[in-house]
Structure 1
Amino acid sequence: MARTKEFDPDAALQAALELFWERGYEATSMSDLVEHLGVGRASLYATFGSKHDLYVKALRRYGENRDPSPVEMLSQPGPALPAVRGLVEFYTEDAIRDRRRRGCMIVNAAGEMLPGDEKVAGIVDANWTALETALTSALIRARAQGELAADRDPRALARFLLVFLQGLRLTSKGTPDAARLRDAAAQALTVLDR
């Protein structure tokens, strides 16, 4: 007869996500996870595999459960350019409000684990590609609707904004200077001007 799990794996995964997001992969030991999750080491290994397996699952969850979803924000019907501007403003204000200075877990993973970790690289690339694709689609719509000049390259603009947004999240982990972040966002948004 199989033993019943004495913990909620979903809640444990969320708690692991929070701990990894706060401390990073290397600074989080299995002992830290056992203590923070309140789950025995053997149960953690049996349910999630290694520490790295648990980290990868937590990172996937982070990428899949963004609220609000940047892809959804950019996919709303109606004018597209305000949605792109709104996304940049959301990232900026979210970074300013991040009092714990955790930044973005995907950006943190890229900085800590890449190059060299193929699983993490795949997750990072998938997240950034999804955001780039959503930005490109929104900017193509904006150009088709006359919101963006006809000679503008939606894909190049999307790539610029993707790189800017990731840099914004990284910068916010340092000195969270609201004026610095808002000024940079305002300058980045000028690339959308006609």
Structure 2
Amino acid sequence: MARTREFDTEAAVSRTMELFWVRGYEATSVRDLTRHLGIGQGSLYAAFGDKDGLYRAALEHYRTTFAAAALRSLDEGSDARSAIRAMLIERVRIAVELGGRGCLLVNAACERVPEDAATHRTVRDALGASQDALAEVLRVAADRGEISTRHDAHTLAAFLVTFLNGLLVSSKITPDPRALEPLVEVALATLD
């Protein structure tokens, strides 16, 4: 008879996400994970397969929580420019307030891509979803005359996602949102 799982896997993934976000993949051992979660190796392997499986689950959890919240915030602005400004500044503020951790997806790309194909797919899909959502906001804004049509919405969205990724890396070096806000204004000039 199989033993029943003795821990909440969703809570474990959330706690693991925090550990990977602070320490990174390579600096986090299986022993660190089992200690952090208060479970045995057998339970970890039974639930997630291995460290890689738990890492992918943590990345996916980040995508459905933190990254999804950023996309939802795009719908809350009164106009596209304000919504995009607020989203960019909020992402930097969160990254700085969380101790300069940056973005887990960007960190994963820097640490694990291109060697780890599964991480590559996860990061690519998450950034692609962000780009698609942003492109739709930009397309609607262009149709309403809120922004210039000189740039294709998908190209502009790709630029803004790339800019945000760089901004999140910069927030680790310069953990002061006020110092980075002027850069947001320069990026928003591409909407003119």
TM-score if structure 1 supplies the norm length? 0.90
| CA-based RMSD | 1.8
Distance 1:143 1:43, change over 3 A: same
What percentage of residue pairs aligned between the two structures are identical?
Answer: 42
Gaps of 5+ in 2: none
Distance (whole Å) between structure 2 residues aligned to residue 155 and residue 10 of structure 1: 34
SS class of match (2:7): coil
Indicate how the Cα distance of structure 1 residues 31 and 126 shifts in structure 2: closer, same or farther if over 3 A, else same.
same
Match of 1:152 in 2: 151
Q: Once structures 1 and 2 are overlaid, which stretch shifts more, 32-41 or 2-11? A: 2-11
Q: How many residues align?
A: 192
Write the mapping of 1:45-194 to structure 2, written as runs, cut at 5 A: 45-66=45-66, 69-75=69-75, 79-98=79-98, 100-193=99-192
Is the Cα–Cα contact under 8 Å of residues 75 and 134 in structure 1 kept in the other structure? no
Structure 1: any 5+ residue segments left out of the alignment? none
Match of 1:20 in 2: 20
Q: What amino acid is the match of 1:160?
A: F
SS of corresponding position for 2:173: coil
Flag the 1:30–1:186 CA change in 2: closer, same or farther, 3 A.
same
Asked if 2 retains the 8 angstrom alpha-carbon contact of 1:114 and 1:121, the reply is yes
Q: Deviations over 1:4-40 (max 9, x none)?
A: 2222222112111111111000000011011110001
Q: Which one-letter code corresponds to 2:85 in the other structure? A: R
Quick check: which one's helix share is greater? 2
8 Å CA contact retained: 2:85, 2:184: no
Moved more, 15-24 or 63-72: 63-72
Distance in 2 between the 1:124 and 1:93 partners? 21
C-alpha displacement of 1:67: 6.7
Instruction: Tell me the TM-score normalized by structure 2.
Output: 0.91
Tell me if structure 2 keeps the 8 A contact 1:135–1:158.
yes
Name the CA distance, whole Å, in 1 between partners of 2:116 and 2:65. 22
Give, in whole Å, the separation in 2 of the partners of 1:124 and 1:149: 30
- Deviation per residue, 1:88-113 (Å, 9 max, x gap): 22223323433x11111000000000
Whole-angstrom distance in 2 between the partners of 1:28 and 1:84: 34
- Structure 1 residues 71, 175: closer, same or farther in 2, change over 3 A? closer
Partners of 1:156 and 1:68 lie apart in 2 by 21
Q: Which moved more, 1:171-180 or 1:56-65?
A: 171-180
